[in-house]
Structure 1
């Protein structure tokens, strides 16, 4: 059964230049970024239109697809068609100072309100001192005071006269009033009082008590007069304050007549100014005395309560806000309450409330990186809480953890209306859905970015437009058609599929920049295919040092790989080494042993815990294949082992299972395998060869080794037939195949691979399950039957050698238990 190698045309699929005949400049550059991502764009449209009710968006895809740029561009376009979001601000709560009031105002209103309240304060700090210094106000104030003083003087004069008639003196001193007996309008001393008759003393004492009672009554009346004076002075103050305040307040009421929250704030300002007018008078007078401007006076601590703290000002915004928070910490997302140090103690007020990303994005869209969000403590739960409650509640993190001992605020929550977009990788999305059921309820829309697109004429034409548009945006030199074709071919290589084009825009941009670098080095006007090729080669050269070290080890037989001759139970498998975004293939020697046994197949990699689950699965499939094909109705009398020689790290994947099966059958049949061929491919229980990944790198890895040792013309690689459509090999490999110095074979079954490796026919089973003549399968079957016969003969011999009544040997070779005593 002969098998021809693949022709060079199947190893590399060139981009036809006629597919690029459309002028790239004719393409609409604004539409190119969404090329190939129609599914994701439709998901974004759904999420943006169905705002609320958990229709937030998770954008998934690998790094380099341009997710962030496309999401920003699409959301920015959506935002321009929306109305501006509301302004958000906090004002003082005159009823509960520790709970500032939140104001949600139409765009531009917060700035206007702040300006109006500051102007009102400046006016009051100037007008109120002037009022209290006016001649009219002072005259009326003095008149009220004089009236009380005259009434008080008259009352005490009358009291003094009545006391004099009773021979009791009444005198006013700095310490108060003095009452005592007197004769001829003179107070008498205690000595003279004692010399008076007892009846006279009793009379005077009685009169003193009477006058003392009248004095208390008069003092009480005077106190009431002063209380009345205070009320009259307050009414006087209010009367004059109304003259300067009412007009301004009424103007503010008319200006904000449709905003009930602002109306209530204005009324609170009027009430507080009326009650604390002396603060304005004292501050204004102190400012004039010390030369402090009114603008500085309004920033004084005692007047903060009349001002407005703006968290978000959308007055100049065009459309809805779009916020990308690159560092989504707790405070950056939710906002914070700052504190000031005063006399060694921390204090705060509503002016020290600072907004976060949720405030800035409220009414629009908030874009977050999922990985950064989840890596920051407490942020994920905080975001979910805000989305569930649909409000932003600023709370210090220390307060939630019970670690805050300073005085803080409890700001009124702000209603939240925002679309949240998380951008991350697919595994992170599925991980969240698995371990956090709430995530699927809060992020109901999933936008999955495509990794590649079909390589067809129309798509290639658009892809070429995208390449030229990117070159124009980056201000690179113009590309020739052949250069564009080479970039398209490299995109297929990056996709790992000749019929696909990679959509990883960042890799494409890097390739164009580096090609332009070599173009500038040569001072060329046009960027040619050779410049693109050199950029590809130089990038590989920069990353190839480890690959060269491994190849050097193989050339020096430190890593032992044969590329000529034949060996029994030895084969060259192919593996791919991934280092970051770099991948290269390298051959590995796989060996097997087969001997008489009980049907156990040992995977040495698994036994040493170096084999992964997929590799172990592949070995178990081999065992099932051998038993099903060669001994479907008989037990396997075989013990076998498989190992990757000189493998010092973990081994996973089933892409070597075809090579492992071939080497196992070689060990069983004792048929040599060609060492000038390397094998890659997965195999199922029925012997069908399945496709694997990294086929281009694997072929090139073995080719590099063969080329270093000298191409003999009979060297090559066996790959799955299903992988032919993925081939985009380097030009040196294609040229070697064209010169018949190297070959690539495609097989769809293990039998075809065995025929290539052994030079013998594999053989097909007849109706009885027997394989014909001198075929590989017949040798395998014959060896297995020979092992079975030998095992049966050994068991029969052991049984025949036993004496009568003696128990048979115990399984496992242990000592026999003593039998019963014989006569």
Structure 2
């Protein structure tokens, strides 16, 4: 069937502004996402289930509402069931100082515990200091002192009496007491002692030794008495401190009686206060010096409030901006003191997992994976069900400072990763633990159906988000133009892009234009200007290409006829903007061994998909024209004046047209450009970027002057994808530009050459396929080695009047 000429109504499907009357406020317009029921159901399931391992990966393109979808589902879940979150604190463990204890308290009571402990320490300071300054304590200590003194003196009195009885005296020396002989109440000088008779001296020496031994025993007894005295004073202090501490802690114990682990820690606090009562006796002056500060350090009784669930530090959903290892699982800081790095439980800092514990954690997958050790730490926490604050330096043996081992905190969190489908696929393929943890994948589509309800929902969402961003209200016409742009972004008139953020970006720019015009609403003209401005900002390369064509640097014909030369169309992408360009495709053919040379591939400037397309052309030619004869064609294809990589098969329809034109010596009208791919049976197949390609050729023809003989040939399957600009539609409506939809290569040939395609099994000079068949048959006879005269005779016999073929 012949190629079909497209009508202006088929070139763009415009949205009806009358159906987009949106009233503010919008109760349901701030929906998280539009037109993605499958992904929304997956997210709702993951958020609502409490089963382990059912964490969520939201896969989709940027700007498609991945984060908003999770937020919406979490808010709905919280409205139905609420969120139970707790405070977490770290406190000192008196038995093992390097292993702080983690305590869980109901929301709001962590800060209260910290305040209560501060008050308790102040009260204990006052009570214990007052206690030790009391008359009762002083009287009891004096009684113990007097008892000790009496017992100690009595022992020495007994020794003194014995010494006096035996003619000896007790003498105090710088190092203690000793025994010496005496005479007339005075210590006997050494020379007098030496002058005594030997028997008397011996008796005195014996007496001195015995009394000295008795004195040593008395001194030892005195030391034991001192120890007993210290023990009794210490026990007095402990007993009185215990009474004071228990009295001071009565209220705090009663207040936290419902928390057994907190009560157990209070027991250790009380025991430590009793053991270190002197720390509470230090005055402010005592704490001024370094030694006094060390002696009276009461920081071990403080409470490190790691997470306050009532202070906005988390949930129900925490979004990770920088999911590094320390930001994720927490860290332990150090302080420099006396030239050393020291730490304690007060320097433990919580991470994102602590903040999200009991709620939901939303993380960008790429940010997480690009942070060293963060992905492994997250998996470890989820698999263990607890948060371990780990030091990377200690793990790798690179730390020489004191390290803490905080008690792990039980983890109950729902993690949602957001990323592209490629990242999700890589994790599924290369991380065996990924599927164990992230069993729910919400796959957001790139586009959505353009149904009437979807269009209204999208318009309402755009209105709501524009209102939330402080933009002027868009008119119905502006919304219609924005939605039309969304269909163009989706490359399908029956679908809409799911990247709502990019549509909102257009409204942001349109708002700027409207405000510059001092308007109170965004109109359709402002949306058109914003879209045109975006195209113009990214148009430097397009302008250079058009200028090169206009100056004849890039040789493109848009009039006349040429053999083996067809205008192909390509698409360039600059950031988020795309534009079409025209490329001359040329083909040469000759006798050979059944091969079509792809010059781009031979020069390593063609990709695998393009090479595949050229191989399909070779298969088509051999199957259609050389079923019963050798395929003796040698052809070559090239994209003229291209110096970079060429990839894709969207020009294979044009390439095949150029080859057939060259084989049959059939001129091709240069006013046409061709886009589309082709299969082995000659069927035209849809390609991408059809709008940009058509507009690129239209701009070139318009610059040279539209004369009604120019146009673009495209596959019939691409008609539904058309969302062309208004100027292109107007030119078609005025008959100055044409679009033809084709289903096969034969229809393309008829438009390009003005000749019937014909039957490839019939040699007919009046058809394109007949001329091609004649040339290929002559190549086949050369291949078989038949003489020239026989070849000419065979060709003449093969053609009957009217173009019918004699079957040999």
TM-score using structure 2 length: 0.93
Cα distance between partner residues in 2 of 1:593 and 1:437: 53
Q: How does 1:214-253 map to 2 (within 5 A)?
A: 214-253=214-253
SS in structure 1 of the partner of residue 699 of structure 2: helix
Cα distance between partner residues in 1 of 2:265 and 2:521: 68
Task: Say which of 768, 775, 780 aligns to 1:788.
Answer: 780
| Structure 2 contact 91–100 (Cα < 8 Å) conserved | yes
Cα distance between partner residues in 1 of 2:163 and 2:133: 42
Give per-residue Cα distances to partners, 1:712-756, cap 9 Å, x unaligned. Answer: 210000111000001010111111111111101111111111111
SS in structure 1 of the partner of residue 605 of structure 2: coil
| Residue 204 of structure 1: aligned partner | 204
| Residue 677 of structure 2: aligned partner | 682
Cα distance between partner residues in 2 of 1:189 and 1:79: 101
Q: How does 1:274-313 map to 2 (within 5 A)?
A: 274-283=274-283, 286=286, 302-313=297-308
Q: Which moved more, 1:183-192 or 1:214-223?
A: 183-192
Cα distance between partner residues in 2 of 1:235 and 1:5: 109
Tell me how far 1:507 sits from its aligned partner.
1.8
Q: Which moved more, 1:340-349 or 1:80-89?
A: 80-89
Tell me how far 1:516 sits from its aligned partner.
2.6
SS in structure 2 of the partner of residue 762 of structure 1: coil
| Residue 187 of structure 2: aligned partner | 187
Give per-residue Cα distances to partners, 1:181-228, cap 9 Å, x unaligned. Answer: 222332222222222222222222221221122122212222222222
| Residue 38 of structure 1: aligned partner | 37
Tell me how far 1:472 sits from its aligned partner.
3.0
Tell me how far 1:271 sits from its aligned partner.
0.8
- Relative to structure 1, the CA distance from residue 708 to residue 120 in structure 2 (aligned partners, 3 Å threshold; closer, same or farther) is same
Give per-residue Cα distances to partners, 1:522-546, cap 9 Å, x unaligned. Answer: 3334433222222222222222222
| Structure 1 contact 52–417 (Cα < 8 Å) conserved | no
Which ranges in structure 1 are unaligned for 5 or more consecutive residues?
798-823
SS in structure 2 of the partner of residue 33 of structure 1: coil
SS in structure 2 of the partner of residue 780 of structure 1: helix
Residue 589 (str. 1) matches residue 581 (str. 2) = no
Give per-residue Cα distances to partners, 1:691-730, cap 9 Å, x unaligned. Answer: 1110000000000000001112100001110000010101
Tell me how far 1:316 sits from its aligned partner.
4.8
- Relative to structure 1, the CA distance from residue 285 to residue 27 in structure 2 (aligned partners, 3 Å threshold; closer, same or farther) is closer
| Structure 2 contact 30–460 (Cα < 8 Å) conserved | no
| Structure 1 contact 54–442 (Cα < 8 Å) conserved | yes
Tell me how far 1:498 sits from its aligned partner.
0.7
| Residue 779 of structure 1: aligned partner | 771
SS in structure 2 of the partner of residue 34 of structure 1: coil
Residue 9 (str. 1) matches residue 1 (str. 2) = no
- Relative to structure 1, the CA distance from residue 266 to residue 526 in structure 2 (aligned partners, 3 Å threshold; closer, same or farther) is closer
Task: Say which of 380, 388, 408 aligns to 1:413.
Answer: 408
Give per-residue Cα distances to partners, 1:265-321, cap 9 Å, x unaligned. Answer: 11111111111111111245636xx799xxxx9999721211111110113569943
Residue 574 (str. 1) matches residue 569 (str. 2) = yes
| Structure 2 contact 630–783 (Cα < 8 Å) conserved | no
**Residue-pair matches, total:** 787
Tell me how far 1:474 sits from its aligned partner.
3.5
| Residue 801 of structure 1: aligned partner | none
Tell me how far 1:772 sits from its aligned partner.
5.3
| Structure 1 contact 83–319 (Cα < 8 Å) conserved | no
Tell me how far 1:450 sits from its aligned partner.
2.7
Which ranges in structure 2 are unaligned for 5 or more consecutive residues?
790-808
Q: How does 1:791-802 map to 2 (within 5 A)?
A: 791-793=783-785
Cα distance between partner residues in 1 of 2:458 and 2:279: 72
Tell me how far 1:456 sits from its aligned partner.
2.2
Q: Which moved more, 1:94-103 or 1:513-522?
A: 513-522
Residue 643 (str. 1) matches residue 675 (str. 2) = no
| Structure 1 contact 480–526 (Cα < 8 Å) conserved | yes
| Residue 334 of structure 2: aligned partner | 339
| Structure 1 contact 82–320 (Cα < 8 Å) conserved | no
- Relative to structure 1, the CA distance from residue 186 to residue 298 in structure 2 (aligned partners, 3 Å threshold; closer, same or farther) is closer
- Relative to structure 1, the CA distance from residue 607 to residue 749 in structure 2 (aligned partners, 3 Å threshold; closer, same or farther) is same
SS in structure 1 of the partner of residue 785 of structure 2: helix
SS in structure 2 of the partner of residue 786 of structure 1: helix
Residue 494 (str. 1) matches residue 510 (str. 2) = no
Q: How does 1:675-754 map to 2 (within 5 A)?
A: 675-754=670-749
TM-align CA RMSD: 2.3
| Residue 258 of structure 1: aligned partner | 258
| Structure 1 contact 118–298 (Cα < 8 Å) conserved | no
- Relative to structure 1, the CA distance from residue 521 to residue 83 in structure 2 (aligned partners, 3 Å threshold; closer, same or farther) is closer
| Residue 664 of structure 1: aligned partner | 659
- Relative to structure 1, the CA distance from residue 478 to residue 362 in structure 2 (aligned partners, 3 Å threshold; closer, same or farther) is closer
| Structure 1 contact 25–465 (Cα < 8 Å) conserved | no
Tell me how far 1:172 sits from its aligned partner.
2.9
- Relative to structure 1, the CA distance from residue 435 to residue 193 in structure 2 (aligned partners, 3 Å threshold; closer, same or farther) is same
